[in-house]
Structure 1
Amino acid sequence: MPDFETTDEGFERVSLRDYTEKAYLDYSMYVILDRALPHVGDGLKPVQRRIIYAMSELGLKASSKYKKSARTVGDVLGKFHPHGDSACYEAMVLMAQSFSYRYPLIDGQGNWGSPDDPKSFAAMRYTESRLAPFSEVLLSELGQGTVDWEPNFDGTMNEPATLPARLPHVLLNGTTGIAVGMATDIPPHNAREVASACVHLLDHPDASVADLCQFIQGPDFPTGAEIITPKRDIEKLYDTGRGSLRIRARWQRENGEIVVTDLPHQVSGNRVLEQIAQQMQSRKLPMVADLRDESDHENPTRLVVVPRSNRVDADEVMTHLFATTDLEKNYRINLNVIGIDGRPQVKNLQVMLTEWLSYRTETVRRRLQHRLDKVLARLHILDGLLVAYLNIDEVIEIIRYEDEPKDELIRRFGLSAEQAEAILELKLRHLARLEEMKIRGEQDELTAERDGLQETLGSEEKLRQQVKEELQADAETYGDDRRSPIVQREEARAFSETDLVSSDPVTVVLSEKGWVRTAKGHDIDPAGLNYKAGDRFALAARGRNNQSAVFLDSTGRAYALMAHSFPSARGQGEPLTGRINPPSGATFSGLLMGEDRQRVLLVTDAGYGFVTVMENLISRNRNGKAAVTVPKGARIMPPLSLPEGEDLQVAMVSNEGRMLVFPLSEVPELAKGKGNKLIGIPPARVQNREEMVVAVAVFRPADELMIRAGKRRMTLSFRDLEHYIGDRGKRGHKLPRGLQRVDALEVIPADDGSEDAKGAGDGE
């Protein structure tokens, strides 16, 4: 509390900090306790409770006629809830929408909104309403001494602090709310499942959350969408009181079309169609031809997605739509309520149901005690009336001749004031002989009821049995089958850029001045294409339209771009530097295409190298990623895609005519770096560009190796290479005179038909 100081003028003075702190804390507690959070007893926020109570006071039962909603809102605002009419009416509308509440509390007539636009409801002067039958769960015991009453905002009348809920309504309809520093998000549940869990908890007070989850499978939303959260996660959610839930739309195939029949809770069908249409316009759904909304009164949700052909995989399309539209949504769960101790707290399922059962048991006890008090009072009156009938003549004489007949009756027959008053209020027609028989019959009935009530109130076991029987009866009356199935589904995955592109064979061509383009097919001659003046062919790679083309620059950085994104080879292409940002002065030394797991040999002419896979070279960053560490004075050689198979061999030739052949298995596999020394060349000679590697090839033992030196050719089998085989890192042996200025090494596959093998040593 702030420290107040009284001045001479009679004013109270307090520091601004203390005053604002207290004011904010008071406001926070008001929002938490009196506006935003539901009570565990009846599961209602104050405004909802006041609306339901006001409608019951107006006589708007489920069997009565509808009345204008403005009448209800006026009563609520004028008597109990001095806030804005629009907020009050919106709370009322929410309780009437069958797509928002699992068990609506209000029966509305008129436009109360639609699933596509829940806030499209008509003004309260147009709509009419009355209480729904389910509201009896909250109201049927209200006038039976079951709840505490408190003054309304102006103290002119009383209102119930809570409503005597016969079922755990806090879970049945759920609620959402944002207070100060806390929030609540309670999903709706199935009445039969929750009642079964409560019955089990009555029989087994020590039951765990896992035991209760045998009865409560999970939330049950008004729509029939699927809950795809794993059951172990749902159990964890109930155990902690916090978590999230994933809900996915339900769909089916009809005549080759995809028909969505149930949407997640509070998802708009129009919004889903807009999301799909946007993807179609941006060409992210080329396999979808058309969309239709066929929803009507018979089919509240019927969204039709028309595939472009029968070859389209509907499951893949829907998996993409689940990942990219509201056909699948995450819902936050936060079981934060005001407990029976009046304090807000996040409660797990076991604590929440235990508290509610405590509230319900006390409510039943108070109801039975209230009835017992009524029965005892009536029996007391009947005892007095029976005395009067047995002494009817004397009673009549006292009433006729005594000035104070009430006092005389009390003195003469030993009656109480209440009994004497009841005798004096008897009507003459009730003095018939038949009335005495009725009194004795009513006495017998009430005596039996009194004995039953006293027996129930005197035994905790019988009281618990009474609560259990009422729970089961109400669950049978108001419960229904589960609407939201809980199923196991695979994780939704959106189409990647490559999924939306055809897998046609293409050849990516790069010119010396850095112009890039894509030609269809693998049978083109890249050098024969038309180039700009002063420009010519530099690099080419064969692959698929949906693969990445990886460019390797002279500094060792790798850049990846989709092959389908390049202009056609019918033109002269576009500058590669418009897509990427290589370092100043860098040139391009290599071009590769292949699957992500395709193995690649990266070598510098200093004789260092390593094996990696394509996915290690792929980066969508315009600045690329570091792939090869280039020794001082060295240059990167064109990378080699490695063929499939075992016992692969590497042949390397230096400019001095030395050749070394060694197993590829001796080359390390790295994600990036300098690699190991493959052929022994002194670093000083590399820096001075005196000695370097000029040709590299990878081949199988069954293949032949062709050495090209100027116009001379020599083809060697693996057996012929025995003289050049050595350990990795050696200098190798001299080639024969005339073949020491090697231009290239070419691999001649043993089967003459393997495209992969041919490309392994061509250096393109």
Structure 2
Amino acid sequence: MADQLNILASGQIVPTSLHTEVQRSYLEYAMSVIVGRALPDVRDGLKPVHRRILYAMHELGLTPDRPYRKCARVVGDVLGKYHPHGDQAVYDALVRMVQTFSSRYPLLDGHGNFGSVDNDPPAAMRYTETRLSPISNEALLEDISEALVDFSDNFDSSQQEPVVLPTQLPNLLLNGSSGIAVGMATNIPPHNLGEVIDGLIALIDRPTLSDEELFRLVPGPDFPTGGEIIGTEGIYDAYRTGRGSIPVRGVSQFEEIRPGRGRQRRNAIVITELPYQVNKAGWIEKIAQLVNANKLDGIADIRDESDRDGMRVVIELKRETSGQRVLQDLYRMTPLQSNFGVIMLALDNGQPRQLPLREVMQAFLDFRETTLTRHYQHQLDKTENRLHILDGLLTALGNLDAIIDILRNAPDGTTAKQQFQQQFELSERQADAILAMPLRKLTGMERQGLETEYEEFTQRRDQLQRLLSDRRELLKAMKKGLRALKKKYGDSRRTRIQTEAEREEESQQIEDIIAEAVEEDTVVEFSQKGYVRRYSQRSYQRRQARLDADTNPKLHDAEEDLTIQVEAAVTTQEVLTLTRDGRAFTVSVEDIPANPRQGRGVPLVNLLPDSVPADADAVVTQLMINDSNLGQDLILVTRKGKIKRAPLREFTNLTGRGLTAMKVKTGDDLAYVTLAQAGDEVILGTSGGRLLRFPIDDDNLPIMGRAAQGPQGIRMGKHETLIGCVAVQGKNDCVLLMSAAGYGKRLPGEALRLAKRGDIGTQSFQFSQKTDHLVALTPAIPHTALTVLTSAERVAIVPIESVPRQGRTGECDRVVKPTKGETVTQVLTVTLPESSENQAASTEEE
């Protein structure tokens, strides 16, 4: 439909392009969500719903010295006057402002059940009560009026509501904020009040304060649940750019406990603090699941002994178990250590902006200076008005006989008023005040009181004029107010920041733990159906001695799960596993069951977190991480041809939740992963027989962040698919190509012209059949064998040397001959096993 008829209220019909109307409507919706719901204002740190709740409670008079009021009453007022949305959304926002484990400085004081750190839901709004907390009543709402901040109409123009609250503290930093808008999100951590005020005062005194000095005053976030921040790199990145990742872990200690009568003492790990926003009950359940699945060893029991005095989770250890090793496993596999992703996004002059720490603090100082100026100007106006009235009253008292004479002879008040103005040069307001003056003002005490009040207001006027005319005096007053609030509401830091010395000591402890672990030489096998098994070297040699090398080039029925990858390793190494949705996980070799009774082992997905689907196809590839490949890069390619380069070093020692290796869009998935390094070349192939070869450098394939999607690697035709990605180190390196009909050849890299990423490539495979297409592009490694699998679940093992070496236009030989209706579906490269004689000899030598 090319056009859409837009019918206006007047009855006029205006032809409108559909895409223009959709674009305009969606933009309006997006801005409504961004400005009106999801993002806080950089000035008062509040979203509209929080601002409206606080203002409605201020209007209801729910100050800290007044009784609590039902939350249902507050929610009703907010909905009826200011916030035309769901009552549950308002109540959820109210609850969060009460929760001491969600807000560093709660803005509301609650009475009743408002939930817990175990993610227990709060009671219904008809059961709970609330009122303003002292800090919000004094620091956010004091003297709120149209003189201090701008007001605007509510949704039906029946009420006025503040556009922003006249806050005296940077609430955006103190309590943080989180929200998801359209196409953007914010996640600002809470901070310590005293530290932030020290930073603000330093910026007032020295606007050119260096980042290093500012970060010393504001060293990092201060979460309400405590915890410990690991290192300062993430903090500094977030503070300098407005975006970063801060690793936070719980606080633990080792204790010796007696589990029960008659039982021996045992060591235990006691957790007293958890990272911010970690559900304690869910975390304990996660540990239990890992123990039951045999993924976490050394734990005998886990108990939650938390009470109203604080958190205490006791993890009882088995005898002769290393507590430090179990603790490191908890950090790696559970949310006991997690990353807080900082996105300091807020509305600045109505526009969403990502702001570094300095700009957030400066925006608050600018706003505070504006509100103070408006406040002092308002006070000056009131003071001058009062002085004007007092001047008239004192003039009347100084001419009392004449005033009385005018009053006695005037026919009415209007005449007397006019005579006052003419005879004594008074204003209309002064004359009205004289007429309204009671007789008691004529007494000596009252007269002295007026003179004293006049002197006080004169001094107050001079003081206000000095504050408004001299910016240095204004800033002094601002600092004085900040210091007073710090003295009243400041408290000590709850979240520790690990020093560099402590970090180095911990790294040494981890190295000692790894060194103490028995490094056993082992062999790991991965199968075609997604199973993994591990053998000791002696067991593996005995097993191989019983197996005959099957290098039958003819297709035959596959009798068992085929081994596709064999790796020699030690038990302290890690296996990097990448899944189709672009996530990366590490599995310790030690966690792979050794010498399995069932020959095929265990599914590899069973060793990954529960978030990975229990499907053999979920795993794309697995790589053994060792010192020889740690300096290389991962080349990741999706089925639709997106390609990305990422350092392998970033994917070691991952936590249980893993990391995003590549952003994969809906409808696409990660298909191929290979190792390479700068200076190598990558070859991509399509099902149409086209190959593209280009160098790996910063121009063609720069290193990208983990969440990036990557550019297009090769342009593909409408009905083409990507069939492989191979990294080669030189022109003489060969790749192997094989078609669905069983035709194949070895092609040297020098036969392909060197191009740029994103090109269309060159035709490199000549098909003998019109319906044929390419199914495999793999490295042609000497002294290896090809395992060819077909759609009929038949297999042939072909030595690589038996496949002819041809140029780009050379004809292909038929490597295997499928039957009618059967096609080659997969080609795997495996190392040829040693001969039985060599195996026997090696066994005898041992």
Shorter chain as denominator, the TM-score bin is 0.5 to 0.7
Identity of aligned residues (%): 41
SS at match of 1:565: coil
SS at match of 1:462: helix
Partners of 2:87 and 2:466 lie apart in 1 by 49
- Paired residue for 1:273, among 268, 275, 284? 284
- Matched with 1:429 is 440
SS at match of 1:214: helix
- State the aligned residue count: 571
Task: Write out aligned runs for 1:587-606 (5 A).
Answer: none
Q: CA deviation at 1:82?
A: 1.2
Corresponding position: 1:242 with 2:238: no
Change (3 A) 1:142 1:433: same
Q: Which amino acid aligns with 1:451?
A: D
Corresponding position: 1:331 with 2:344: no
- Matched with 1:408 is 419
- Paired residue for 1:207, among 186, 206, 209? 209
- Matched with 2:86 is 84
Partners of 1:338 and 1:288 lie apart in 2 by 48
Change (3 A) 1:241 1:493: farther
Partners of 1:578 and 1:425 lie apart in 2 by 94
Counterpart contact for 1:286–1:500, Cα < 8 Å:
no
Change (3 A) 1:14 1:207: farther
Partners of 2:164 and 2:205 lie apart in 1 by 26
Change (3 A) 1:9 1:347: closer
Q: CA deviation at 1:210?
A: 2.7
- Paired residue for 1:160, among 159, 162, 181? 162
Q: CA deviation at 1:422?
A: 1.3
Partners of 2:91 and 2:9 lie apart in 1 by 50
Q: CA deviation at 1:565?
A: 3.5
- Paired residue for 1:312, among 311, 315, 321? 321
- Paired residue for 1:369, among 357, 366, 377? 377
Q: Which amino acid aligns with 1:214?
A: R
- Paired residue for 1:468, among 474, 479, 485? 479
Partners of 2:534 and 2:187 lie apart in 1 by 54
Q: Which amino acid aligns with 1:335?
A: M
- Matched with 1:565 is 594
Change (3 A) 1:576 1:416: closer
Corresponding position: 1:121 with 2:106: no
Partners of 1:375 and 1:563 lie apart in 2 by 81
SS at match of 1:333: strand
SS at match of 1:464: helix
Counterpart contact for 1:320–1:493, Cα < 8 Å:
no
Alignment deviations for residues 7-36 of structure 1 (CA, whole Å, 9 cap, x no partner): 999414141333332222222222111211
Change (3 A) 1:388 1:269: same
Q: CA deviation at 1:99?
A: 0.3
Change (3 A) 1:500 1:395: same
Corresponding position: 1:99 with 2:101: yes
Counterpart contact for 2:70–2:129, Cα < 8 Å:
yes
Partners of 2:419 and 2:361 lie apart in 1 by 57
- TM superposition outliers: structure 1 runs of 4+ over 6 Å: 2-9, 491-495, 498-508, 516-523, 560-563, 575-579, 595-598, 743-746, 758-761
Partners of 1:358 and 1:67 lie apart in 2 by 36
Partners of 1:161 and 1:745 lie apart in 2 by 84
Q: CA deviation at 1:207?
A: 2.2
SS at match of 1:104: coil
Q: Which amino acid aligns with 1:303?
A: V
Change (3 A) 1:374 1:577: closer
Partners of 2:534 and 2:359 lie apart in 1 by 66
Partners of 1:232 and 1:44 lie apart in 2 by 28
Change (3 A) 1:475 1:4: farther
Counterpart contact for 1:151–1:159, Cα < 8 Å:
yes
Counterpart contact for 2:346–2:355, Cα < 8 Å:
yes
Counterpart contact for 1:39–1:45, Cα < 8 Å:
yes
Partners of 1:396 and 1:163 lie apart in 2 by 50
Change (3 A) 1:517 1:321: closer
Change (3 A) 1:565 1:13: same
SS at match of 1:245: strand
Alignment deviations for residues 506-537 of structure 1 (CA, whole Å, 9 cap, x no partner): 999xxxxxxx99999989x979x999xxxxxx
Counterpart contact for 1:505–1:544, Cα < 8 Å:
yes
- Matched with 2:844 is 762
Partners of 1:116 and 1:351 lie apart in 2 by 36
SS at match of 2:308: coil
Change (3 A) 1:144 1:195: farther
SS at match of 2:209: coil
- Paired residue for 1:303, among 308, 313, 323? 313
SS at match of 1:41: coil
Change (3 A) 1:504 1:349: closer
Partners of 1:577 and 1:338 lie apart in 2 by 52
SS at match of 1:290: strand
Partners of 1:544 and 1:348 lie apart in 2 by 45
Partners of 1:426 and 1:27 lie apart in 2 by 59
- Matched with 1:711 is none
Q: Which amino acid aligns with 2:315?
A: V
Partners of 2:392 and 2:51 lie apart in 1 by 42
- Paired residue for 1:387, among 389, 392, 395? 395
Change (3 A) 1:445 1:407: same
Change (3 A) 1:578 1:288: closer
Corresponding position: 1:356 with 2:367: no
Q: CA deviation at 1:336?
A: 0.8
Corresponding position: 1:186 with 2:217: no
- Matched with 1:482 is 493
Segments of 5+ residues of structure 1 without an aligned counterpart are 509-515, 532-542, 549-559, 580-594, 599-618, 620-624, 630-670, 676-686, 688-742, 747-757
Partners of 1:547 and 1:209 lie apart in 2 by 41
Rg (Cα) greater in structure: 1
TM-score, scaled relative to structure 2? 0.60
Q: Which amino acid aligns with 1:131?
A: L
Segments of 5+ residues of structure 2 without an aligned counterpart are 257-266, 525-531, 548-567, 574-588, 605-624, 629-673, 675-725, 727-732, 734-779, 785-800, 802-835
